[in-house]
Amino acid sequence: MTKNILCGFLLSIFSIGVSHAQVKAPTPYGPVPNENQIHWQEMEYYAFVHFSLNTYTNQSWGNGNEDVNLFNPKELDCRQWARICKDAGMKGIIITAKHHCGFCLWPSKYTEYSVKNAPWKNGKGDLVREMADVCKEYGLKLGIYLSPWDRNSPDYGKPEYITYFRNQLTELLTNYGPIFEVWFDGANGGSGYYGGANETRTIDRTTYYDWKNTYALIRKLQPNIVIWNDGGDRGDLRWVGTEEGAVGETNWSLLNTTGDVPWNMLHFGLENGNSWVPAEVNTSIRPEWFYHPNEDSKVKTVPHLLDTYYHSIGSNGSLLLNFPIMPNGLIHPNDEKAALGLAKAVKETFAVNLAENRKAEASNVRGNTKEFDTSKTLDNNKDTYWATDDDVTKASLTIDLGKPTLFNRFLVQEYIRLGQRVKAFTVEALIDGNWKDVAKATTIGYKRILRFPSVKATKVRFSITDSKSCPLISNIGIYNAPVFLNAPSIERTQSGEINISTDDIGPIFYYTFDGSEPTTKSNIYTTTFTAVGKVEVKAIAYDPATRKSSPVGLEKFDISKKDWKITGINDEKASTIFDGNASTIWHQRDGNRMPIDLVIDLGNKYDLCGFKYLPDQGKWSSGIITNYQFYISQDNINWKLVDEGEFSNIKNNPVWQIKRFVPEKGRYIRLRALKNTSGDDVAGYAEVDVITN
């Protein structure tokens, strides 16, 4: 009897142990990523390189009739590209194998409009091959950008073009090894050369490319690939609705497989979407995608790039950062410096995880087992996670830092293999015995990083306040990031007053206007000052507390606008288009259909060689001009057409549009709006300027 009781007792203990060890893992909730999407998400950061014939014509988009003999990059070095990308912390490179002009960077056997007929390497070059080889050498993954739109092909818009498009796609996906991503631009149809037709062609981008069968071909040729497409069909990844470098504050990695995808869904995702389609944030290190010499001083600063980092990688997205290649075939030193500066800043910020291996307690642990306890969030292992019981969707985790510790960043990751769940959370700090709110946010996803003013605390409490199902948290990090100042913004009013400012609080500004680099011994900025005529202003922000300086802000101003007037318009608000303030907008409505003319009297005659147009910077802008003509007159009677064309990609990238032409003397200018992005009869302007010889 005693023996039976003992055996029963031991058996019950064994059963409890087995039961405790076999707590079931949570089941998936909603759509989940496939393995290709997981591998892509873990890359986090990779490069675009834009290089084509329009690099040599200083255009944003080529028309399809550019001379192939222009392509002869005498110093081209793909190893330089790969070295910079590797040193910048990137994991891959996507090359623009064919942009809208149709020129191919590989010797495609399906067209003569390629490197095989260019003087570069006597027609024996293959830039995609060189890129594939150096990516392998440097341990980087290779991606391919292939424009569905082709302004050179005579068959574009016809059924025959789809065969051509797929033939080129097959070349790229079979001859260059593993491809991690294929990228299809959303620009489709419009004016072009089209084999000499020189006409406008339109297509239905939702049906023309037959994406279903095109995708099947891609996945057959490259089973491990992910597809990015803004061309009217769901791929594996989504555009975020802007090229400014940011996804939404709320960012679900979900969409619906059918139906329209409006801007707000692109930007924020869809909480109850039925398909896993995470966000890729694509932006350029300069204002535009292709190289333009006038942008050498407009390369994004390290603080600007850091902001992009937090609004992409730190907001449940990936970051695709573009390098415009110079005509000589190299990345510009300014671009390299900025990219490596970002890498250094990120490394310094996340060098020490103040939470790693610290003690942590949670309000609920799944089955009260070590398999899902709080230590799994602090072990630096992405495959382990803290989980709650199935019926618990609100929970908190408190980390003991051991002593008062200074920090200003909080990083958290979900275990996304089982779905994205968290809808809202807060971060609190225990300061002098009292809990203080320091940050709050909505979604987490693969990775979320919050920024806030530095606090010194002994404990940190992470609280999930809303979740679609039991939360699964794989990683938490607490960091103390160094201070980075933004480069100052420099503006000049119509009367010639210079304003210098930043979003930072409390820095001192130093400036020069003689071309020299500003230091703390330069002019100190205390109030606006007047600088008329052509002048170059450089400025830095300086923080006396940390003795740190910002990157240099630079603006080059042309002739004074003091005497400028708009003719034929009786509207006081019209003059805001040359007031030097990009946030003031004027919309012109003539009451008739396009074209709409804007005529400006410059007050004096000048040798004019170009003009600049800045559209409305708002998200839902109206009147953004896409096609234009530009005229010059000395007497407001006799006019000469000096330039006409398009502002390429202006809707997605509403930056300064700079156009140059053969110098012409004149006092009056006429900007004629022929077409806008909305297809209505409105012309909108933030700023208009001229370039003098």
> For residue range 18-72, what is the model confidence (pLDDT) as tens digits?
444 578 999 999 999 999 999 999 999 999 999 999 999 999 999 999 999 999 9
* Pick from 15-29, 170-184, 467-481: least confident: 15-29
- Give the structural domain span for 632: 565-692
User: Does residue 191 sit in the same domain as residue 339?
Assistant: yes
Scan for tokens 């500003």, then name that residue: 518
The 3-class secondary structure across 398-450, one letter per residue, is: EEEEEEEEEEEEEEEEECHHHCCCEEEEEEEEEECCEEEEEEEECCCCCCEEE
Six token digits for residue 308: 């992009």
pLDDT score, position 344: 97
Domain assignment of residue 329, yes or no: yes
* DSSP helix/strand/coil, 662: strand
Q: Which two tokens stand for residue 43?
A: 């890359």
Q: What was the pLDDT predicted at 627? A: 95
Q: Which of 180-184, 201-205, 345-349, 469-473 has the lowest mean pLDDT?
A: 201-205
d(CA 261, CA 272): 14
Mean pLDDT on 151-164: 97
Q: Is residue 27 part of a domain?
A: no
For residue 618, count other CB atoms closer than 10 A to its CB. Answer: 13
The CATH number assigned to the domain holding 518 equals: 2.60.40.10
Q: What percent of the chain has pLDDT over 90?
A: 88
Residue spans of alpha helices (H) in 500-569: none
What pLDDT is attached to residue 228? 96
**Planar angle of CA 122, 140, 149, nearest 5 degrees:** 60
Q: With respect to residue 423, please indicate whether it lies within any of the assigned structural domains.
A: yes
Asked whether residue 245 is domain-assigned, the answer is yes
Question: Cβ distance 173 to 182 under 8 Å?
Answer: yes
Residues 387 and 292 in one domain: no
Number of domains in the chain: 4
pLDDT of res. 287: 96
pLDDT for the residue numbered 591: 72
3-class SS at 549? strand
What pLDDT score does 526 carry? 92
Region 192-203 average pLDDT: 95
Residues 246 and 308 in one domain: yes
Average pLDDT over residues 121-144: 98
Orientation angle between helical segments 78-87 and 333-349, nearest 10 degrees: 20
Residue 560: is its pLDDT beyond 80?
Answer: yes
The predicted pLDDT at position 17 comes to 43
What is the mean pLDDT of the segment spanning 378-401? 96
Residue 463 backbone class (left: φ over 0; alpha: ψ -120 to 50; beta: rest) = beta
Looking up residue 61, the CATH number of its domain turns out to be 3.20.20.80
Structural domain ending residue among the three candidates 500, 525, 557: 557
Select from 537, 557, 577 the last residue of a domain: 557
Boundary of a domain, candidates 349, 379, 410:
349
Average pLDDT of every residue of the chain: 94
Lowest-confidence pick of 6-15, 617-626, 650-659: 6-15
DSSP state of 591: S
Give the tens place of pLDDT for each residue, 333-380. 999 999 999 999 999 999 999 999 899 999 999 999 999 999 999 998
What is the DSSP annotation of 481-494? PPP-PPPPEEEE-T
Largest CA distance in the chain: 120
Give CA separation, 113 vs 65, 107, 127, 153, 194, in Å.
Answer: 9, 9, 14, 9, 12
**How many Å apart are CA 521 and CA 534, to the nearest integer?**
24
- 391 within domain boundaries: yes
What CATH number corresponds to the domain at position 680? 2.60.120.260
Same domain, 68 and 159: yes
Which pLDDT score, from 0 to 100, does residue 505 have? 79
pLDDT of the residue at 678: 87
The model's confidence at residue 6, banded by pLDDT at 50, 70 and 90, is very low
Q: Are 357 and 484 in contact (CB under 8 A)?
A: no
What pLDDT, on a 0 to 100 scale, did the predictor assign at position 10? 42
- Of the given ranges (4-18, 74-88, 269-283), which has the lowest mean pLDDT? 4-18
Could you tell me the two tokens for 52? 């084509």
pLDDT of the residue at 291: 98
Q: Phi and psi of 200, rounded to 5°?
A: -100, 130
154 plus 233 within the same structural domain = yes
Strand partners, 4: none
pLDDT band at 184 (very low <50, low <70, confident <90, very high): very high
Task: Tell me if residue 676 falls in helix, strand or coil.
Answer: strand
Task: Please give the angle made by the CA atoms of 73, 75 and 76, to the nearest 5 degrees.
Answer: 65
Structure-token pair, residue 191: 């004016």
Using omega within 30 degrees of 0 as the cis cutoff, is the peptide bond preceding 595 cis? yes
Is 424 a domain residue? yes
496 & 384 share domain:
no
User: Can you tell me which residue has the tokens 């995609």?
Assistant: 128
Q: Are residues 369 and 499 in the same domain?
A: no
Write the pLDDT tens digit of every residue in 206-242.
Answer: 899 999 999 999 999 999 999 998 755 679 999 999 9
User: Token pair of 410, please?
Assistant: 């909080």
Co-location of 211 and 193 in the same domain: yes
Whether omega for the bond prior to residue 324 falls within 30 degrees of 0, making it cis, is no
* Pair (417, 268) in one structural domain: no
Give mean pLDDT, residues 598-619.
94
Locate the DSSP E strands across 495-564.
497-501, 508-512, 523-525, 529-530, 535-543, 548-549, 553-557
pLDDT of residue 503: 85
pTM of the model: 0.92
The reply to whether 528 and 574 lie within a common domain is: no
Q: Is residue 611 part of a domain?
A: yes
Query: Are residues 533 and 598 located together in one domain of the fold?
Result: no
The predicted pLDDT at position 232 comes to 55
23 belongs to a structural domain: no
Q: What percent of the chain has pLDDT over 70?
A: 96
DSSP state of 331: B
Q: What is the pLDDT of residue 619?
A: 65
Indicate whether 533 and 607 sit together in one domain: no
Mean pLDDT computed over 655-668: 96
